[in-house]
Structure 1
Amino acid sequence: MGHYLTLFASNTSGNPLLQFVCGGTRIQVGCVVDDENVREAYGCHFHGYEESPEASHGLMLGWYVNREKIDTLRVLSLCRLANSLHKHTVLVDEVHKKCILLKYSADL
């Protein structure tokens, strides 16, 4: 099940900032790393951190749907990886400033 999120363009330091509310819980991502290292390590577009990669554990793995289409197998793979690393999975539409938080459970 997905939850729609609110996407803000940047925070005071100029880094991208994702902020959303799910079930009354507010989650803020103050630093987004979007580079080739993230693509190679996680197979996604970005890795979101509460503060910075040096100061905090990553909170989410994300995919920009307006930059590149994502198929079902890749969504499942990304969700499984994020779940095993205790992270959220987010699909982001930068054009419409919306994103979806995906929940994944390995329970059968």
Structure 2
Amino acid sequence: MLHHIVMWTLKDEAEGEKKSANLAKAADMLKACADIVPGILRFEVGTAQPGMEATCDLLLCSAFADRTALAAYQNHPDHVAIKPFMKAVVESRQCFDYEA
């Protein structure tokens, strides 16, 4: 199993919107990718919540059957389509992939 974890910090303003609007849109876009290819075993999208510790604004915690499934996800047109928006609104991105 391959775990794919990504964390984003969004800009305060981008694309004519404040962070809160872009965060909601980014989370919805990611959630829409939850079952786009076979081999997705887990796909959780989380956003920072008031009163809870967080060092980022948006989190994707996912698991794939293997590297082939992750590659299929990363190259799927629905996933590729969200990248321009994410690049426009994201200040920083952290990613961590590992096999277990």
TM over 0.5: no
For the pair shown, which has the larger CA radius of gyration, 1 or 2?
2
| Structure with higher helix content | 2
Bigger relative contact order (CA 8 A; separation at least 6) = 2
Q: How high is the TM-score relative to the length of structure 1?
A: 0.29
Q: How high is the TM-score relative to the length of structure 2?
A: 0.30
